[in-house]
Amino acid sequence: MSIALATPFSISGPSTTSETDAFAAATRYDIDTVGQTITIWLPCGSAVTSGGKTTSFAPGPQAPTLTVEFSLGSSTWSASNGQSGTLTADQIATVQAMLAGVNAAVRNQAEASVQSMGILAGTNVPW
């Protein structure tokens, strides 16, 4: 999934390199369960298609990346484009559902992998 930008990022100039990026996608995220923050990186780029279907995302080499940080402790968010705000009850519920579902599964699998590879000796205790 990606976001079709209302205003595509475009750059051109005296050099031979120019680009127009019409999409943004979350390519990286960090969930800090202790600090209760979620940071998401969304670079601008292009949707890659194959057979008429979007298959992946390619960040633009000169395009900006929007960074958004959600603070669950204070229910606020701020973005690298200067915007900020307070999470609504529905938005908080959405973030909590993401944490409960996706993050728990990813965290448990990561811990199981590290333990099964012998990188960290011990017994897995999913929670």
pLDDT band, residue 121 (cuts 50/70/90): confident
Measure CA 110 to chain center. Answer: 18
Q: Say yes or no to pLDDT of 14 above 80.
A: no
Q: Say yes or no to pLDDT of 39 above 90.
A: yes
Residue 102 or 22, more confident: 22
Domain range annotation of the chain? 3-87, 88-122
Supply the DSSP symbol for 106: H
CB-count exposure of residue 44 (10 Å: 0-12, 13-18, 19+): buried
pLDDT band, residue 15 (cuts 50/70/90): low
Distances, alpha carbon 98 to alpha carbons 50, 76, 92, 94, 95, in Å: 29, 17, 10, 6, 5
pTM, two decimals, is 0.75
pLDDT for the residue 59? 92
Which tens digits make up the pLDDT trace of 78-91?
Answer: 999 999 999 999 98
Query: Alpha-carbon torsion 71, 81, 85, 102, what sign?
Result: negative
Mean pLDDT of 74-78: 93
Which tens digits make up the pLDDT trace of 109-120?
Answer: 888 888 888 888
Residue 43 near residue 37, CB atoms below 8 Å: no
**Separation between Cα atoms, residue 23 and residue 28, nearest integer Å:** 15
Question: For the chain, what percent of residues have pLDDT higher than 90?
Answer: 28
